[in-house]
Amino acid sequence: MTSLRAAETAFRWVMRAYPASFRRAHGLALFELFRDEAREAYAARGSRGVLLAVVKAAGDTIENAPAAWHDSYRHRSPEALVSPADHRPRACDRRVGRLVHGLAHDVRLAIRRFRQAPAFTAVAVLMLAVGLGATTTVFSFMNAVLLRPLAERDPDRVVRVVARVGTGAVGAAARRFSYRDFVDYRERTTTVHELSGVNLATLLLTADNRTDQILGEIASGQYLALLGAHASQGRLLTALDDSPAAAPVVVISDAFWRRRFGGGPVVGERVWLNRMGYTIVGVAAPSVMGSFIAAPVDAWIPIESSGQALGVGWRQDRSQRTLAVLGRLRDGVTRVQAQTEMQTIAESLARDVAPYRHPEIDVLPGTLATGDQRRLATMFLSLLLGLVTLVLVIACANVGNLLLARVFGRRRELAVRLALGASRARLARMITVESLLLAAMGGIAALAIASSARGLFANISALPTLTLRLDVRPDMRVVAFAAAAALAAGTVLAVVGALHAMKPEIAPALKEESLGSMGSRSSMRLRGGLASVQVVVSLLLLVGAALFARSVQGAAAIDLGFDPTGVVVLDIDASGGRTNLESLATFESVLTRLEAVPQVQAAAMSSRAPLDSSTPLVRVSAQGPIARDVESDAPIASLLIVSPHFFDVVRTPVVLGRSFAQADDATRPPVAIVNETLAARLWPHGDALGRRVWVDATAMSAPSVVVGIARNAKYRTLGEEAQEHVYLPFAQQPRRGMALLVRSSGPPDRTIQTAQQTLQSIDSNLQGFFARTLQQHVDVSLLPVRFAAGLTSAIAACALAFAAVGLYSLVSFVVAERTSEIGLRMALGADQGAVLRLIIGAGMRLAAIGLAVGIPTAIVSSRLLSSLLYGVSPVDPAVFGAVTLVIVLVTFTACYLPARRAVRADPLTALRRS
């Protein structure tokens, strides 16, 4: 029955389309009638029937409301007729009615003309739909990543509090707050309430004798309420859950509930997270996705009962900046006021807990992406929006050209109308209505395209086990964007068309046109200009697409510094009740047993798989210990903790000195291996071997002795410049979470299976997660450039096709207009070649103008892409040559086809037509 009530509400809204006088007279009864119908539909077919009834009623309203306005305008009720006084339309209704009447008339005329030219209408709407659809799709991504507020409740008041510290990976980590800092801010702030800290953590969830690695958010109790989340079952976390005495509870996501628990009853169930017992108290609604961009969150647990999920001692150590902080502005407080207050708190904290350095504080709108992520996403998406806007420009130019051709074709009709006394403004209005109608149809189709395109991109899968989840459902912002874009496109078309419709020369048009009449010269110049613009734009897009395509090749050719083929990777977490040392023993026996398997060539542990953007960065020094919490200019190096055979598994050569050995354990002096870049940076004289290096964040003050220098490799991203890097031995730096790397001659599936069995045979609680080949792992880094290449190629192909169609239709039109001239020329003895050259020459001149403008523009603008390109110059001559060739070929074909048609026509027929 709720569907019935919803339908009634919907119909009440629909009824507003009628004039007030009509609603006063018949509104109630109309509503009753709808209700009768809806009830009957509900009885017969349930909610589907009701939906159908609403749709039908809406259609019926669209059909009748304009007529009702029309009636109310016409309404001149003679005294004799029964009509109670209050049913009579008011003056304002009548004014609106007159306007609606005129517009309705124009709309009807326009629709009739569209029906008379279905091909024109279809092509125009299709082109506008593709142009508007592409822009709307990209915008809906921008919306999801940059604009859509995280909070569903009162979104404008929810803010992110971030520390502003530099840029780059080090800066990104420092943007967060340590737990103790967070508590201090929470206690002192008066401008922001519900201040919540949150971070992602990998958790091991055990239920029904099975353990899975899941992603959870460790968050303050009021965090979910702050986001305005709702529970679909049970309840959400509350501030009470986040107190030391509270029993450990967990809320799980809707997706995880379906995936892991098969949608069965779970509220009140016991589960184990990192082998601590928790009670499931609720399932969050499907729309709750957490506040991290690349992370489909499976569970939420309060900070107080999170144990060591975020690290050892993270709640005491002010240097462990782990929490992202969100809060809600108190009523009447602006973001600037909150920021000023937070800054004051930061400064007083700096005094109280000196020498701890406190940063600048920013209070930002509460959206998904922050910091570097936001900067990158803004750059990439703006670029993309720019590209698809170019497609929209081409589409508009094309449709504009078609409209002009139609205006030209209708010049006799327009001239007759003018001669009969129609005002030029009225003609302009007619054209305007046509343009806006076309744009509106295009806009509606664009929304459909955008909402179906989200399926293509919504779950971009980086790895079989990891997906990027983005909520790209079109919301009001997206609809508004589509409407604005359609309006802009329509306005451009209307202005172009109306300007030309306003000046038909009456006398010549009324006479049957003279030989070779080409319309006004300015009109042809404008249409030629539009065609050239299309060539310019498709050239720009093609250059972008070709650069990205070359870049994919270039990226594949980049020397990784390691060999990803034949290696599988599994993440292992041995945190269950083990100390670091115990896990070391476990992992060593895993490696020993794996290496005994015949097909396994080598096996190793590493704190991260090679080429992983989450590889930690640390400060290193050749001079002395690195003081914590003090700004230092010590170089920053990426760090991997590896077992002895790591270099054999990934085949990175140790060029000087030795690799790690089994003997490098906790009882021996600490050792390290540095890469060539770090060695050259710290010891420019080339005597790195045997020197001492201090590595921050290793919780030890003793320096390590450099025993080897490894060949440079890519550590964090494919595009990184030569990066300083240091390796430490696993036996001296044991961890509980490691990546297991196995090089084997067997098929990857078999190797993964062998690895899992080996883990199980050592400890039934041990299992590998996110099993993948190292090649797959590396490919994740290639994803952005592959994505960009695919996308720009599609966009460019679209643009080129549009431009070809545009040029083709323009030349066809010219040929059709000049048929008699061509016939005359040929009758007088011009040969086919000369006529072909004449026509093709005219078309190619437009293409040449486009190239002359486009190539310099492309040379200047392709530099914008340079940061996204691998191994290819933004002004690559091969790319520019190939693109120019493609454009010349396509434009030539577009001109040749109609030209051939013209010369093949019988000169007599052509002459007779004039």
Partner 1 sequence: MTSPSEFLPLKPLHFLMLLALVDGDRHAYGIKKDLAARGDYRDVGPGTLYRSIAQLLEAGLIQDSGRRPATPLDDERRRYFALTALGRRVVVAEAERLEQLVRSARARKLLPSPFGT
Q: Which residues bind partner 1 (CB under 8 A)?
A: 18, 22, 25-26, 28-30, 32-34, 36-37, 56-57, 59-61, 63-65, 67-68, 71, 75, 77, 80-83
Taking Cα atoms as reference points, which of 791, 625, 617 lies closest to residue 700? 625
Nearer to partner 1, 65 or 846 (CB): 65
Nearer to partner 1, 107 or 353 (CB): 107
Nearer to partner 1, 67 or 122 (CB): 67
For 561, which DSSP code?
S
Nearer to partner 1, 77 or 423 (CB): 77
Closest separation between CB of residue 34 and partner 1, Å? 5
Beta bridge partners of 675: 710
- The DSSP line for 698-748 is SS--SPEEEEEEEPP---S-TT--S--EEEEETTTS--SEEEEEEEESS-H
Closest separation between CB of residue 101 and partner 1, Å? 15
Tokens representing residue 474 in the block: 């079109």
Closest separation between CB of residue 74 and partner 1, Å? 10
Closest separation between CB of residue 8 and partner 1, Å? 13
Nearer to partner 1, 34 or 880 (CB): 34
Closest separation between CB of residue 77 and partner 1, Å? 6
Nearer to partner 1, 63 or 331 (CB): 63
How far apart are the C-alpha atoms of 572 and 91, rounded to whole Å? 78
Burial 603-627 (b: 16+ CB within 10 A, else e): bbbbbbbbbbeebbbbbbbbeeebe
Closest separation between CB of residue 28 and partner 1, Å? 5
How far apart are the C-alpha atoms of 784 and 453, rounded to whole Å? 18
Amino acid letter at 684?
A: P
Q: Please, what is the Cα angle at 784 between 779 and 790, to 5 degrees?
A: 100
Nearer to partner 1, 67 or 663 (CB): 67
Closest separation between CB of residue 30 and partner 1, Å? 5
Burial 117-141 (b: 16+ CB within 10 A, else e): eeebbebbbbbbbbbbbbbbbbbbb
Q: Which residues contact 156 (CB under 8 A, 6 or more apart)?
A: 149, 365
How far apart are the C-alpha atoms of 482 and 218, rounded to whole Å? 38
Nearer to partner 1, 80 or 557 (CB): 80
Phi, psi for 720 (deg, rounded to 5): -65, 150
Nearer to partner 1, 23 or 259 (CB): 23
Nearer to partner 1, 67 or 827 (CB): 67
Cβ(846)–Cβ(526) below 8 Å: no
Closest separation between CB of residue 510 and partner 1, Å? 40
Nearer to partner 1, 27 or 409 (CB): 27
Phi, psi for 477 (deg, rounded to 5): -60, -45
Nearer to partner 1, 34 or 141 (CB): 34
Taking Cα atoms as reference points, which of 361, 348, 372, 356 lies closest to residue 192? 361
Cβ(300)–Cβ(224) below 8 Å: yes
Closest separation between CB of residue 57 and partner 1, Å? 6
Closest separation between CB of residue 343 and partner 1, Å? 60
Nearer to partner 1, 66 or 561 (CB): 66
For 513, which DSSP code?
P
Q: What is the 3-state secondary structure (H, E, C) of 407-470?
A: HHHCHHHHHHHHHCCCCHHHHHHHHHHHHHHHHHHHHHHHHHHHHHHHHHHCEEEEECCEEEEC
Tokens representing residue 206 in the block: 């055990």
Cβ(364)–Cβ(159) below 8 Å: yes
Beta bridge partners of 466: 463
How far apart are the C-alpha atoms of 738 and 193, rounded to whole Å? 39
Taking Cα atoms as reference points, which of 29, 27, 97 lies closest to residue 66? 97
Pairing state between β 276-284 and 231-234 = antiparallel
Closest separation between CB of residue 75 and partner 1, Å? 8
Nearer to partner 1, 13 or 833 (CB): 13
Closest separation between CB of residue 59 and partner 1, Å? 7
- The DSSP line for 771-807 is EEEHHHHHHHHHHHHHHHHHHHHHHHHHHHHHHHHHH
- The DSSP line for 589-653 is HHHHHHHTSTTEEEEEEESS-SS-TT--EEEEESSSPPPTTS-----EEEEEEE-TTHHHHHT--
Taking Cα atoms as reference points, which of 370, 336, 334, 368 lies closest to residue 156? 334
Closest separation between CB of residue 115 and partner 1, Å? 22
Q: Please, what is the Cα angle at 771 between 769 and 776, to 5 degrees?
A: 135
How far apart are the C-alpha atoms of 343 and 330, rounded to whole Å? 17
Closest separation between CB of residue 83 and partner 1, Å? 6
Closest separation between CB of residue 6 and partner 1, Å? 18
Nearer to partner 1, 29 or 91 (CB): 29
How far apart are the C-alpha atoms of 58 and 63, rounded to whole Å? 9
Nearer to partner 1, 63 or 559 (CB): 63
Nearer to partner 1, 19 or 806 (CB): 19
Closest separation between CB of residue 394 and partner 1, Å? 41
For 367, which DSSP code?
B
Nearer to partner 1, 21 or 222 (CB): 21
Taking Cα atoms as reference points, which of 846, 113, 809, 110 lies closest to residue 404? 809
Tokens representing residue 376 in the block: 């990158």
For residue 689, give Cα distances in angstroms to 656, 686, 710. Answer: 8, 8, 11
